Structure 1
Amino acid sequence: MKPTILMAPRMPARLLARLEERYEVLGPMTHSAPDALPAGAAAARVLLTIGSWKTDAALIEALPNLGLIACYGTGNEGIERPAARARGILISNAADANATSVAEFAVGLMLASARQIGAAERFLRAGRWQGNGVGRMAHVPGLAGRKLGIFGLGAIGQRIAARAAAFDMTIGYHNRSPRPELPYQYYDSLLGLAEWADILMVSVRASSETRHAIDAGVLRALGPQGHLVNISRGIAVNETALIEALENGTIAGAALDVYEQEPLVPDRLKALENAVLTPHIAANAESAQIAQQELLLANLEAFFAGRPLLSPVAI
Structure 2
Amino acid sequence: MPAQRLSVVVTRRLPAPVETRMKELFDVELNEADVKMSREALVDAMRRADVLVPCVTDLIDQAMLAQAGDRLKLIANFGAGVDHLDVQTARQRGILVSNTPGVVTEDTADMTMALMLAVTRRIPEGLHVMQAGEWRGWAPTAFMGGRIGGRRLGILGMGRIGQAVARRARAFGMQIHYHNRKRLRPEIEDEFEATYWESLDQMVSRMDVISVNCPHTPSTFHLMNARRLKLMKPDAVIVNTSRGEVIDENALTRMLRAGEIAGAGLDVFEHGHEINPRLRELSNVVLLPHMGSATIEGRGEMGEKVIINIKTFADGHRPPDLVVPSML
- Taking structure 1 as the reference length, the TM-score comes to 0.92
- Of the three residues 64, 71, 75, the one matched with 1:65 is 71
Distance in 1, matches of 2:216 and 2:274, equals: 18
Q: Is the 8 A contact 1:43 1:64 kept in 2?
A: no
Tell me which residue corresponds to 1:97: 103
Q: Is the 8 A contact 1:150 1:174 kept in 2?
A: yes
- Of the three residues 254, 265, 268, the one matched with 1:244 is 254
Amino acid at match of 1:15: V
**Do residues 152 (structure 1) and 162 (structure 2) align?**
no
Label 1:268 to 1:298 Cα distance change in 2 as closer, same or farther (>3 A).
same
4+ long deviations beyond 4 Å: 123-126
Label 1:93 to 1:210 Cα distance change in 2 as closer, same or farther (>3 A).
same
Distance in 1, matches of 2:19 and 2:5, equals: 15
Tell me which residue corresponds to 1:209: 219
- Of the three residues 119, 122, 128, the one matched with 1:113 is 119
Tell me which residue corresponds to 1:285: 295
Identical counterparts, % of pairs: 31
Tell me which residue corresponds to 1:304: 314
Worse-superposed segment, 12-21 or 276-285: 12-21
Worse-superposed segment, 49-58 or 154-163: 49-58
User: Across the two proteins, how many residue pairs are aligned to each other?
Assistant: 311
Q: CA deviation at 1:234?
A: 1.1
Distance in 1, matches of 2:199 and 2:14, equals: 38
- Of the three residues 7, 10, 13, the one matched with 2:10 is 7
Q: Is the 8 A contact 2:207 2:233 kept in 1?
A: no
SS in structure 2 opposite 1:222? coil
Amino acid at match of 1:119: E
Q: Is the 8 A contact 1:150 1:200 kept in 2?
A: yes
CA-atom RMSD, angstroms?
A: 2.0
Q: For 1:1-315, list aligned pairs within 5 A.
A: 1-26=4-29, 28=31, 30-33=37-40, 37-38=44-45, 41-61=46-66, 62-124=68-130, 125=132, 127-133=134-140, 136-137=142-143, 139-180=144-185, 181-183=187-189, 184-315=194-325
Deviations 1:225-256 (A, max 9, x none): 11010101111111100100100111100001
Label 1:123 to 1:8 Cα distance change in 2 as closer, same or farther (>3 A).
closer
Q: Is the 8 A contact 1:219 1:250 kept in 2?
A: no
Distance in 1, matches of 2:48 and 2:257, equals: 52
Distance in 1, matches of 2:49 and 2:105, equals: 30
Label 1:227 to 1:175 Cα distance change in 2 as closer, same or farther (>3 A).
same
Deviations 1:16-69 (A, max 9, x none): 22212211223647312478515xx53522211113411112322323122221
Amino acid at match of 2:258: N
Deviations 1:87-106 (A, max 9, x none): 23222111011111111111
Label 1:191 to 1:63 Cα distance change in 2 as closer, same or farther (>3 A).
farther
